[in-house]
Amino acid sequence: MLRRMSIRRQVAFALAIVGGILAVAIGASLYQVRETQRLTGHNLEVRAPALLAASKLLAGVDRSQAELAGGLLHPDHARTHARAAAWLEEVEPALARLEVLAAGGDGAHVQELRSLATGLRTAQEAIEQRGPAAQQSGLELERSAQQAERIRALVLGLVAGEAELLERDAALAREQVAELLLLHWLLLGSGVVAAGLAGSYIGRTVRRRISAESGELMGSVAELRTSSHELSSGATAQVTCMSEFSNTIRELASASVQIVERCRQVARQSEAAVLRCQDGGHAVAQAQEVVDAIKAQIEKVVHHMLELGSKSQEINLAADVITELAEQTTILSYNAAIEAAAAGEAGRSFAVVADQVGRLSDRAKEAVRDVRALIADIQRSSNTTIMATEDGLKAAERGREVQADAGEKMEQIIDVIQNALDSIREIEMSATQQSTAALHVNVGIESAAAAAKRFETSARQCLQLAGALTRSAENLNDI
């Protein structure tokens, strides 16, 4: 399981073990120091004040004894009372200290000491109450002196006991310090040994891992070099593409500007075309009026031509009559000639007349034929004219329809041109937006090209770094 752990975890595990050992050692040391301090502190806090209180008690007893002795020589009850009160103030805390000391130690001495102090105070109070009764006071003084001596002896004994206890505590503390030092050395040694073992194990593991990782690192560096080379090539290609793309976008923007200008030109031309179409529509309307007038005139011509045809028919009837008359005249001239021939010489002049009448009738027939030819020509011309006028009427009607259709087409053309004009304006707006967008895109592309350039530089640096890593990996592999 340990081999499967990472180097960092192995190091952390080893450090945790060493740290644990050191923590146990330090804890034990701290515990030992704390115990020693507690013991020493207890001695210092309890016995030292007791010893000080004992010394103060002894000094107070001596001073009380001296004051009592002086008071007997020079009785001054007020002063004596004050000194007794001061003595009590000094003795009472000392007694309290001693009681505390006695609670943890030799209680019999303290009880005795307290009873002696009580007796001493009682004696002192008795001295104060009796005042001038010197004799009794002397007795009391003597008794208090005895009690004071007894107190001194007890205090000295107590001090001696405490000194012995202190000596014993000091010896115990020295032993504990020695044990602590030994424990420290043992823990330090075990820590060093554990650290050495862990370091050796970790060193082997690290070397093995370094060897494996350096192999992988060299492979990765090789791949990194390949990737960096590809990245560099790609970045170079990307820079080139970006440059070409930027040029293309600039050309696109330029083309958009040209499109905008062309759209404006086309819009102006479309507006002119709309005006022209509107003029054309007016012209078509006027042409329709003209065509209507022409149609009316043609209808009049047709009417007159029909009347002319009717008159020609009447002329034909008249020609028929003339022809019949000529025929009859011819027959009459023949008959006249026949009669003249029957008359012989007498009818010679009459024969001439008959001959002339016959010729005249012949001329009349020829004239009638000419008239008929003329009428036929007129009728043909009339028919041709009528057909032409009918064609003209049809053409005029068709022209009117065509003009009406042209007018509608003109309106449709105007609508189409108007729609085209709207579309062109939308195209112009879109082209303007496209131009602006192209410029923005070009700015973005130039930024991207700069980024690609930086990326290319970074890729080359990566390539150089890969070389450096290869060397480092080789050096690491040599370790």
Partner 1 sequence: MRDPTLRGERLGRQLRELRESYERALAAPRVHERALGDPHVLFEVAGSTFALRAAELGELRNATDLVRVPAGGPLIAGAIAHRQEIVQVIDLRALFELPERGGPAGFVLVLRPLALRTGVLCERLLGLHRVAPDALSRLDRVYASGHFMHGARSVAVLRSEALVQDPEPG
Report the nearest approach of partner 1 to the CB of residue 329 (Å): 12
Neighbours of 293 (CB within 10 A): 11
* CB within 8 Å of 280: residues ≥ 6 apart: 410
Residue 265 CA to chain centroid, in angstroms? 43
Alpha helix locations (H) across 106-133? 107-130
Report the nearest approach of partner 1 to the CB of residue 312 (Å): 13
Closest of 37, 30, 38, 39 to residue 180, by C-alpha: 30
CB nearer to partner 1: pick between 25 and 386: 386
Which parts of this chain interact with partner 1 (CB under 8 A)? 327, 330-331, 334-335, 337-338, 341-342, 345, 348-349, 351-353, 355-356, 358-360, 363, 366-367, 370, 373-374, 377, 380-381
Q: Give the separation between CA 10 and CA 266, rounded to whole angstroms.
A: 82
Closest of 320, 322, 313 to residue 379, by C-alpha: 313
CB nearer to partner 1: pick between 95 and 354: 354
Closest of 149, 160, 150 to residue 105, by C-alpha: 160
131: left (phi over 0), alpha (psi -120 to 50) or beta: left
Report the nearest approach of partner 1 to the CB of residue 363 (Å): 5
Report the nearest approach of partner 1 to the CB of residue 336 (Å): 10
CB nearer to partner 1: pick between 368 and 424: 368
CB nearer to partner 1: pick between 312 and 330: 330
Q: Give the separation between CA 463 and CA 162, rounded to whole angstroms.
A: 84
* CB within 8 Å of 407: residues ≥ 6 apart: 281, 284, 285, 288
Neighbours of 120 (CB within 10 A): 27
Q: Give the separation between CA 394 and CA 171, rounded to whole angstroms.
A: 153
CB nearer to partner 1: pick between 305 and 424: 305
Report the nearest approach of partner 1 to the CB of residue 338 (Å): 5
**Angle at alpha carbon of residue 441, lines to 436 and 446, rounded to 5°:** 125
CB nearer to partner 1: pick between 365 and 409: 365
CB nearer to partner 1: pick between 32 and 323: 323
Report the nearest approach of partner 1 to the CB of residue 359 (Å): 6
Q: In 145-273, at which residue ranges do the beta strands (DSSP E only) sit?
A: none
Report the nearest approach of partner 1 to the CB of residue 294 (Å): 26
Report the nearest approach of partner 1 to the CB of residue 300 (Å): 23
Report the nearest approach of partner 1 to the CB of residue 318 (Å): 16
Is residue 75 within 8 A of residue 127, CB to CB? The reply is: no
* CB within 8 Å of 195: residues ≥ 6 apart: 14, 18
Q: What is the DSSP string of 383-444?
A: HHHHHHHHHHHHHHHHHHHHHHHHHHHHHHHHHHHHHHHHHHHHHHHHHHHHHHHHHHHHHH
Report the nearest approach of partner 1 to the CB of residue 386 (Å): 16
CB nearer to partner 1: pick between 299 and 355: 355
DSSP designation for 7: H
CB nearer to partner 1: pick between 293 and 374: 374
Report the nearest approach of partner 1 to the CB of residue 390 (Å): 21
CB half-sphere exposure, 154, CA atoms < 13 A: 26
CB nearer to partner 1: pick between 216 and 366: 366
Is residue 39 within 8 A of residue 169, CB to CB? The reply is: yes
CB nearer to partner 1: pick between 243 and 381: 381
Closest of 273, 281, 279 to residue 419, by C-alpha: 273
